[in-house]
Structure formats: structure tokens, C-alpha cells
Chain A
Amino acid sequence: SAVISQKPSRDICQRGTSLTIQCQVDSQVTMMFWYRQQPGQSLTLIATANQGSEATYESGFVIDKFPISRPNLTFSTLTVSNMSPEDSSIYLCSGDSGGADTQYFGPGTRLTVL
């Protein structure tokens, strides 16, 4: 199983600023995913990140708001841009090694926007 770490683990940010979340996997994974979990809610997929191509965004999420990078097979970043209090959530990344492989998740980044 892959071990995934995220930085930062939590942050408190001011409205209008941006935060970049890093996701590091201890082994190469084909696909990486970014999810958002709003307070008391389930997880919603933001986008899928493949190395060497642009991320694929789900309905309701746009690249200008959530730019994603995937420079190699073990690392990805998600930026939450121009933040508002509605962006206060846990952001989780995950990865799998292809096919219908199991997705393993990072510990999440708890973001609070004031």
C-alpha cells in the first residue's frame, strides 16, 4: 500500500489569499486525486491529476480556483486561490497505481478561512 503525506496538516488563512497544499507519495502512482470534505459532509472529487497532462476537473470546480500541478509520479500540489470562508474544508489527496487499484489517502489538510 502507498503511504501518502500532505503539507500543511492544517492552516488558518485570510480571505482573498491563496494556499498551496502538497501531496507526496512514497511510491510511484499512476493517478492522483484531490477531494474536498466540507464540514460534516462526505468527500467530493475536485480533480484527477495525471503526470504530463492537465488535471481533469469535476463539475463545479475550475482550474482558476483550484490549479493543480503533477510534476512527477510521486508528487502533486493543489492551490486554493482567492479563498473565501466557503473554502473552509478538509482537502485530501489520494493515489492509485492503475486499473481498479485501491486508492490510499493522505491525512488531509484542514483549512479554515477567516
Chain B
Amino acid sequence: AQKVTQAQTEISVVEKEDVTLDCVYETRDTTYYLFWYKQPPSGELVFLIRRNSFDEQNEISGRYSWNFQKSTSSFNFTITASQVVDSAVYFCAPLDTGRRALTFGSGTRLQVQP
């Protein structure tokens, strides 16, 4: 079974600051998949990224970047030059490949102040 720890419950930054959200996972699978989702105040879950375990290249998408480190079982998410619209709860979620269901972390609430 997968486990995931998002140790940061809440982070508050001022607009234009960079912020990193931490995610540490546990899995016994040799091949596995990790996801990040965003949940803005409206409540819907927005898919951000899917990463498989055999691709350790870091990924950048605009102001978003992800640092995948198998050696430390971490899959951290950085927002550069944060904006008020980034305010949301962010979930890291490994995929249980047997059940094909996501195991969600407790989430990190990000507040970006103007």
C-alpha cells in the first residue's frame, strides 16, 4: 500500500515569492506513479502532473516545477513568483497500481497574500 506525507499543513507567502510544497511517499512497488492535484476554494480537483518512477527528470511547466528524488522518496512542487490565484489546497497522491486508486496526502493549504 502507498503512503504519503505532506508535512506542511499551511503555508502563507506574499505574492511573487517562490514556494515549495513537500511530498514524501512510501511504496513497495518498483514501478509507481505520482500525481499532484490542486483544489481551489471552488472545490474541484485540478490535475497538475503525473510522474512515473522510471523518469527522474525534473519537470517545468510555466511557473510550476517538480523535483522528483527517488533516493529520498520525495516529489516536491515549487511555484515560482506565486500569484493570488495559486491560493488553494495542493495534494500529492501516489497511485496504488493494484487498485488503480489514488492515495491522497493530507494536503497543503497555500495562501498567497497580495
Q: What is the total number of residues of chain B having a CB less than 8 Å from a CB of chain A?
A: 22
Name the residue on A nearest B89 (C-beta): A42
Question: CB distance B47 to A108 under 8 Å?
Answer: no
Question: CB distance A102 to B50 under 8 Å?
Answer: yes
Question: CB distance A42 to B107 under 8 Å?
Answer: yes
Name the B residues within 8 Å of A24 (CB-CB). none
Name the residue on B nearest A30 (C-beta): B100
Interface size class of A (residues with CB under 8 A): 20 to 34
Q: Counting CB contacts under 8 A, is B44 at the interface?
A: yes
- With contacts defined as CB atoms under 8 Å apart, how many contacts are there between chain A and chain B in the complex? 53
Question: CB distance A48 to B105 under 8 Å?
Answer: no
Q: Which secondary structure dominates where chain A touches chain B?
A: strand
Q: Counting CB contacts under 8 A, is B66 at the interface?
A: no
Within 8 Å by CB of A43, from B44, B47, B95, B104, lies B104
Name the B residues within 8 Å of A92 (CB-CB). 45
A33 to B104, CA, bound (A): 13
Name the residue on B nearest A90 (C-beta): B43
Question: CB distance B45 to A42 under 8 Å?
Answer: no
Q: Which secondary structure dominates where chain B touches chain A?
A: loop
A94 to B52, CA, bound (A): 20
Max chain B C-beta neighbours (<10 A), residue from A31, A104, A105, A110: A105
Given contacts A42-B105, A42-B106, A42-B107, contact A104 B47 (CB under 8 A): yes
Interface string of A90-114 (1 = CB under 8 A from B): 1010101000101111111010000
8 closest cross-chain pairs (CB), A and B: A105-B45, A43-B104, A100-B33, A107-B44, A42-B104, A45-B101, A42-B106, A102-B50
Task: List chain A positions with a Cβ less than 8 A from chain B.
Answer: 1, 31, 33, 41-45, 48, 56, 90, 92, 94, 96, 100, 102-108, 110
